A = this chain, B = another copy of it.
Amino acid sequence: GNRGCFSVREWIRNVWNFAKEDSNRVTFSLKVGLAVLLVSLLILFRATYHVFGGTNIIWAILTVAIMFEYTVGATFNRGFNRAIGSLLAGIFAIAVAEVALCTGHVAEPIIIGFSIFFIGAITSFMKLWPSLVPYEYGFRVTLLTFCLIIMSGYRMGNPIRTAMDRLYSIAIGGFVAVLVNVFIFPIWAGEQLHKELVNSFNSVADSLEECVRKYLQDDGSDRPDFAKNVMDEFSDEPAYRKCRETMDSSAKLDNLANSAKWEPPHGRFRHFFYPWSEYVKVGAVLRYCAYEVMALHGVLHSEIQAPYNLRITFQPEIQEASSQAAELIRSLGNDISNMKRSLRTSLLKRVQSSTERLQRAIDMHSYLLTSSHDLLDYSSKSFPCRVVPSNTLSSSASDFSGQLAAEPAGSNRPEPPLNPTLQKAPSETLLPAAAGLQAESYHETMKKQQRRLYSWPSREVDSYEEGTNGEDLPRMRALESTTALSLATFTSLLVEFVARLDHLVEAVDELAKMAKFRNEES
């Protein structure tokens, strides 16, 4: 008793939250109720029932129930489908019925039967045609109405009268549906599209920041199984999930834009031919940017990882670049949301200079990303054909790594936030952390990585017995280099993401121009 009571209460709370989350849901429900009630009144009152042609008025209810959609535009669109479909069906039906009537008693049912088969096959074939798929409902209505009209006409005589009565009551139903939908708390597809696009901007920005934060936080110790992650859809990364929803929302944006085109000017979207299709284009460019975020996320969950210490070495620059980029995206979303155009000079400047700083940091410390001593071992041992003066390089490289190891590992003081004017800061703050890399968990991590990589197809492949013992060393090194290059990949993807933002800015500018957003000096 107590548990059942609790779960009912839980259930009611869920429903309540669902309704509160978007009050349009309740509005929509009540509107549907109202619309069917209004049409029912025509039947409930004896007077109107007889005025509007008796039993046929039932088609008005059917129309309301089928035509009433969530947004104004979708209702118009569906109404259009229904109207054209019914009209075509009516015309076909009357034409066929007249012909059938003239042919006499025997041929009539044959002609009618054949026409039904023909219309059924044609409409079904046409609705499979890619460009006609959105009008699927219209074809269904055509078939349905055609059959009903021609059948009623055959059994009850006077097909034209039947068709007209039916079209008439369908029109009443459509009229009521549109009136209620437009004039009582209308839910505009345009407004929904606008909000949806702004939300997409925010979710891409969130996802970028989340991904970078995780990448820099993660010390590789408690990495959950990837397969598990794929299955529970990365439940500990809410922003990533929202971003994936954004990736999959192209159909949703298309639908909303299609619906919005049917809507008259309303609310904030005051001029005719508002460029709803531009919203879809901006969405496409945004998704194209988001592919890079997906790839960043891929690096985050990659099995081959740069060691934590190496990642943390570039933390200030990565952090800076990503948060500047996120800010730019948010500001773009915000501008769309407020329908204003602002100059993004200072923001663009900051994004660009922070990205440049990241590039420079990577470049300056590129020796960390490649283990140059491997090259020497290769050249001196396995490939005697090389004529490089390897001893010179070799000695200098070992000098250098000795130098690195000699740096005090304990001295990595908390790093100050990077100041744009303080150009020399990176190299001073980076090196101690880099030293720690060599000193402590680096080889540990390497071994773990190796285990991971080599356990890879271990279930079926055992090619390792084939190799000579001498090959073990180079393999290990190939791995070291690859793990470090994973950091290079991460930063390259980040830089590429920033480069793509240019196209996003352009697309948003184009939208702002076409939709006549108001200018505002930020």
Tell yes or no: A96 within 8 A of B by CB.
Answer: no
Instruction: For A30, give its contact among B30, B116, B121, B372 (CB under 8 Å).
Output: B121
Measured between beta carbons, the chain B residues less than 8 angstroms from A457 are 348-349, 352, 502, 505
The verdict on A493 contacting B356 (CB below 8 Å), with A40-B112, A58-B148, A151-B43 known, is no
Q: Mark A146-178, 1 if CB is under 8 A from B, else 0.
A: 011001101110000000000000000000000
**Docked complex Cα distance between A7 and B139 (Å):** 24
Q: Does residue A238 face the partner (Cβ distance < 8 Å to B)?
A: no
Residues in A457-506 with C-beta less than 8 Å from chain B: 457, 460-461, 463, 474-475, 477-482, 485-486, 488-489, 491-493, 495-496, 499, 502-503, 505-506
Give every chain B residue within 8 A of A506 (Cβ-Cβ). Answer: 227
Q: Find the B residue at minimum CB distance from A39.
A: B147
- Asked whether any CB of chain B lies closer than 8 Å to the CB of A88, the reply is no
Q: Which residues of B contact A70 (CB under 8 A)?
A: 128
Q: Contact partner of A230 among B34, B288, B382, B383, CB < 8 A? A: B288
Interface of A is mostly: helix
CB contact under 8 A between A62 and B144, given known A352-B461, A456-B352:
yes
CA distance A362 to B375 in the complex (A): 10
| With contact pairs A362-B481, A461-B345 given, residues A125 and B40 touching in the complex (Cβ less than 8 Å) | no
Could you mark each residue 366-401 of chain A with 1 if its beta carbon is under 8 Å from any beta carbon of chain B, else 0? 110111101100100011011111001101100110
User: How far apart are the CA atoms of A25 and B399 in the complex, in Å?
Assistant: 73
By the criterion CB–CB under 8 Å, are A281 and B231 in contact? Answer: yes
Interface pair A389/B393, CB less than 8 Å apart: no
User: Is A12 on the interface with B (CB-CB < 8 A)?
Assistant: no
- The distance from the CB of A351 to the nearest CB of chain B, in whole angstroms, is 8
Q: Which residues of B contact A393 (CB under 8 A)?
A: 396, 399-400
Interface residues of A in 1-38 (CB under 8 A from B): 18-19, 25-26, 28-30, 32-37
In the assembled complex, A66 has its CB within 8 A of some CB on chain B: yes
- Chain B residue at smallest Cβ distance from A428: B385
Tell me the chain A residues, 130-146 only, with Cβ under 8 Å from chain B. Answer: 140, 143-144
A103 in the interface (beta carbon within 8 A): no
* A40 lies within 8 A of B400 (CB): no
Q: Which residues of B contact A400 (CB under 8 A)?
A: 388, 393
Per-position 1/0 for A100-143, Cβ under 8 A of B = 00000000010011001111111111001100000000001001
Do the beta carbons of A120 and B37 come within 8 Å of each other?
A: yes
- Whether B427 and A378, one on each chain, are in contact in the complex, defined by CB atoms closer than 8 angstroms, is yes
Tell whether A344 is near chain B: CB-to-CB under 8 Å.
yes
* Chain copies in complex: 2
Nearest CB in chain B: distance from A80 CB, A: 19
A285 smallest CB distance to B (angstroms)? 6
Q: A250 near B: Cβ within 8 Å?
A: yes
Q: A204-212, A292-300, A440-448: which one contacts chain B? A: A292-300
- Say if the beta carbon of A337 comes within 8 Å of chain B: no
Which of B36, B356, B479 is A120 in contact with, Cβ under 8 Å? B36
**Chain B residues whose C-beta falls within 8 Å of the C-beta of A129 in the assembled complex:** 18
Partner of A460, one of B123, B128, B345, B477: B345
The answer to whether A226 has its CB under 8 Å from any CB of chain B is yes
Chain B CB within 10 Å — which of A65, A303, A481 has the most? A65
Chain A: interface residue total (CB-CB under 8 A): 143
Using A482-B363, A486-B492, A503-B226 as known contacts, say yes or no to A147 and B36 having CB atoms under 8 A apart: yes
Q: A35-B120, A36-B120, A148-B62 are in contact. Are A488 and B492 (CB under 8 A)?
A: yes
* Contact across chains for B360 and A478 when beta carbons are under 8 A apart: yes
B291 contacts A478, CB within 8 Å? no
Residues of B within 8 A of A482 (CB): 359, 362-363, 492, 495
Chain B residue numbers with a CB within 8 Å of A485 are: 362, 366, 369, 488, 491-492
Q: Which residue of B lies closest to A112 (CB)?
A: B44
| B117 and A34 contacting across the interface, CB-CB below 8 Å | yes
**Is A364 an interface residue, CB under 8 A from the partner?**
yes
A26, A40, A55: which has the most chain B beta carbons within 10 Å? A40
- Cβ–Cβ < 8 Å partners of A492 in chain B: 299, 304, 482, 485-486, 488-489
Asked whether any CB of chain B lies closer than 8 Å to the CB of A221, the reply is no
Most chain B CB neighbours (cut-off 10 Å) among A399, A478, A491: A478
Q: A349-B463, A366-B481 are in contact. List 5 more A-B contacts (CB 8 A).
A: A40-B116, A40-B147, A68-B124, A292-B295, A382-B427
List the 5 closest A-B pairs by CB distance, nearest first.
Answer: A366-B370, A295-B295, A33-B121, A363-B481, A33-B120
Some 30 contacts from A to B, beta carbons below 8 A apart, are A19-B125, A25-B128, A29-B122, A40-B116, A44-B109, A44-B154, A55-B152, A61-B151, A65-B144, A226-B503, A227-B503, A230-B503, A294-B295, A295-B298, A304-B492, A344-B460, A352-B457, A360-B474, A362-B481, A366-B370, A367-B370, A367-B372, A369-B485, A382-B424, A387-B403, A393-B400, A396-B396, A453-B499, A488-B488, A489-B489
